[in-house]
């Protein structure tokens, strides 16, 4: 099941900001939550603990279920190439991920909601499945009726430049997926070898 608890607490636990509000709280308290979060005598992490943390970091950045994550790893393993890089490419090709990266949403959680509520089109056709795999040269756009919603304009104004693999037309609220990005262009924060090791056990 998807995480529905406090995003700030989860962000502090993982050490990465999962929502815009998390960044400012993490600057004030840059350590894990809980009574002993700021303690210097925290127990040393085992190899398994490190692998688990990196897996959780990757999974929760894309806000997906454990079963979905397992399926993506299995698919990446079947493909020819580096399993870790293929895994993040599959995750980054998700519709909700590209809506977020393009700046149409301020968080992955908001992007998922916009897709679910049928505000997003692919090549002019409505798609309400967040896990939909976007193909190269597909065009993502906001439904005509939804273009008046302030949330999209606020998001696109407050977002920095989109990644190189996305061509964004801010005035039209459209995004073109230009190419499948290599690992170093994907802004997901995690140690991919540890994630692959976790699922290889």
Q: What is the mean pLDDT of each run of 10 residues along the chain (201 residues)?
A: 60 64 53 52 76 90 93 96 95 96 92 96 96 97 94 86 92 95 92 93 82
What are the φ and ψ backbone dihedral angles of 104, each rounded to 5 degrees? -75, -15
- What percent of the residues of the chain are helix, what percent strand, and what percent coil, each to the nearest 5? 50, 10, 40
At residue 25, the pLDDT reads 46
Structural domains in the chain plus CATH codes: 7-27+46-91+186-200 (1.10.1050.10), 94-179 (3.10.290.10)
**Please, are residues 98 and 140 in contact by the beta-carbon 8 Å criterion?**
yes
- The H or E element that residue 105 is part of is none
**Please, are residues 190 and 57 in contact by the beta-carbon 8 Å criterion?**
yes
At residue 20, the pLDDT reads 58
| SS3 of residue 185 by DSSP | helix
**Please, are residues 85 and 183 in contact by the beta-carbon 8 Å criterion?**
yes
At residue 12, the pLDDT reads 65
């Amino acid at each position: 099941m998807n995480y529905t608890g406090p995003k700030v607490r989860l962000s502090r636990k993982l050490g990465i900001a999962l929502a815009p509000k998390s960044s400012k709280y993490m600057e004030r308290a840059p350590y894990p939550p809980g009574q002993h979060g700021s303690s210097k005598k925290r127990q040393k992490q085992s190899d398994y603990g490190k692998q688990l943390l990196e897996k959780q970091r990757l999974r929760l950045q894309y806000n997906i279920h454990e079963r979905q994550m397992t399926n993506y790893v299995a698919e990446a393993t079947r493909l020819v190439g580096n399993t870790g890089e293929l895994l993040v490419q599959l995750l980054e090709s998700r519709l909700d991920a590209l809506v977020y990266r393009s700046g149409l949403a301020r968080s992955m959680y908001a992007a998922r909601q916009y897709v679910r509520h049928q505000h997003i089109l692919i090549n002019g056709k409505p798609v309400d499945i967040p896990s939909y795999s976007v193909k190269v040269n597909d065009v993502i756009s906001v439904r005509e009726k939804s273009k008046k919603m302030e949330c999209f304009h606020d998001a696109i104004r407050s977002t920095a430049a989109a990644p190189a693999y996305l061509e964004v037309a801010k005035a039209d609220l459209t995004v073109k997926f230009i190419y499948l990005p290599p690992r170093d262009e994907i802004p997901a924060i995690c140690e991919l070898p540890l994630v692959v090791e976790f699922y290889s056990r």
